Structure 1
Amino acid sequence: MKLHVLPIVIMLAGCASMLPTSRQDVKNNWEDFEQAKHAYDRIVPYQTDMATVRELGFDPAVTPNVQILNHSQVVRAVLPSPLQERAAIPPGILDCMKAQDGCVGYFMEPSRIDRKRVGNFMLDFLNFKRDTLTTGWKFGALIVVVNDKVVFKQWSGRPRIEETELRSNPLGPLQGLGEGLRPTP
């Protein structure tokens, strides 16, 4: 190998660290899914008040991206159809329906998502092949409150997110060139 080619090969070998990364972090008190679930599990319907809910990290006034639901939105979110038998409706939802405007639902999705481009720097840089690895977690909590007392709770989530997206462009940097040349109507 010629000596003047060696520095270029060494430089390109370290280029994988130059690939873009991103992090989506919905501000929350938890480092991982298990911590969020543990805090959620400490909420007990008909025992836990809003002060305790706030202490556990589910504070609608402080936590960003909290969706506040009125009583009809809570019912639609929990019940698959409005034609259910009364006995099949959870007691907390019945109490929410009775309370009408005195019922408020809080839905929040704390998460931590990391996106990292991996693979060959030159293929990525020239837009031939982009390989993105997404990792993280997402926790969803619905907390229904009537008169400052939790009456219902429901959770969902993804404890371990691991996805790979591979985008291949055979023409590389020329791939979208034709679309840019079309006249706009």
Structure 2
Amino acid sequence: MKELSLILLLLLLTACRSLLPEGGREADNIWTSFEDAKVAFDRIEPYRTRLEDLRDLGFDPTRKANVQILNYSQVAHAVLPNAAMPLEAQPKGMRDCIQAQHQCIGYLIEQSRLNRKRIGGFWADFLNFSRETKMEGWRFVALVALVDGVVVFKQWSGQPAIHELERNHNPLGFLQGAGEGAGGLFK
């Protein structure tokens, strides 16, 4: 009988792990991975790639979410936060964008996929003694500047691999925040 109780207890505790919350954050992604985004970005050639080509590569604010349209001053500020830099010292594409002013627009693309999964023991998590959350994913950001429908400048940044572990430890468990809540009773 003891063995049966022990087996049932182990099964219950093992099954509880599946009760831990999971989640994720995914923008309406154009690409399925960081590598896909980078490959599409690398196909963009300044002074050759046209607006129609950008749309075919997935850089289209009218059909894809999370593509922001910037005016020329926003593009300049994103690339050159120091306005004191002389025009001659700026990249050629940025000079052309600034000189074109209203004929220059920019596309800022931010794509990411981040999955969150709680790990550890169910009861310690449920009773708020100890919580661990594992986060994995990727993030890709690209800026493209166009003058009269032709790409004149591009740059990218990102994180090909995000691996984070968030730990919270509360020695008093579910009572940990009770003092804060009780403080309001004595006002």
TM-score by length of structure 1 reads 0.94
Q: Which is worse superposed, 23-32 or 127-136?
A: 23-32
Is the 8 Å Cα contact of residues 59 and 67 (structure 2) preserved in structure 1? no
Structure 1 consecutive aligned stretches of length 4 or more whose deviation exceeds 6 Å: none
Deviations 1:150-182 (A, max 9, x none): 111000000000000111111111111111223
- Residue 75 of structure 1 is matched in structure 2 by 76
Corresponding position: 1:112 with 2:113: yes
- How far is 1:9 from its partner? 2.6
Deviations 1:24-61 (A, max 9, x none): 11112322111100000000111101111011011111
- How far is 1:105 from its partner? 1.1
Is the 8 Å Cα contact of residues 28 and 57 (structure 1) preserved in structure 2? no
Aligned to 1:123, the other structure's residue is in SS state helix
- 2:88 and 2:175 mapped to 1: Cα distance? 62
- Residue 47 of structure 1 is matched in structure 2 by 48
- Residue 147 of structure 2 is matched in structure 1 by 146
Corresponding position: 1:22 with 2:23: yes
- Residue 84 of structure 1 is matched in structure 2 by 85
Aligned to 1:3, the other structure's residue is in SS state helix
- How far is 1:83 from its partner? 1.3
TM-score by length of structure 2 reads 0.93
Gap runs ≥5 in structure 2: none
- 2:5 and 2:121 mapped to 1: Cα distance? 22
- 2:100 and 2:141 mapped to 1: Cα distance? 24
Partner AA of 2:123 in structure 1:
M
Corresponding position: 1:98 with 2:99: yes
Corresponding position: 1:176 with 2:177: yes
Aligned to 1:183, the other structure's residue is in SS state helix
- 1:72 and 1:159 mapped to 2: Cα distance? 29
Gap runs ≥5 in structure 1: none
- 2:7 and 2:87 mapped to 1: Cα distance? 77
Partner AA of 2:63 in structure 1:
V
- 2:17 and 2:52 mapped to 1: Cα distance? 48
- 2:12 and 2:184 mapped to 1: Cα distance? 42
- 2:33 and 2:174 mapped to 1: Cα distance? 39
- Residue 155 of structure 1 is matched in structure 2 by 156
- How far is 1:85 from its partner? 2.7
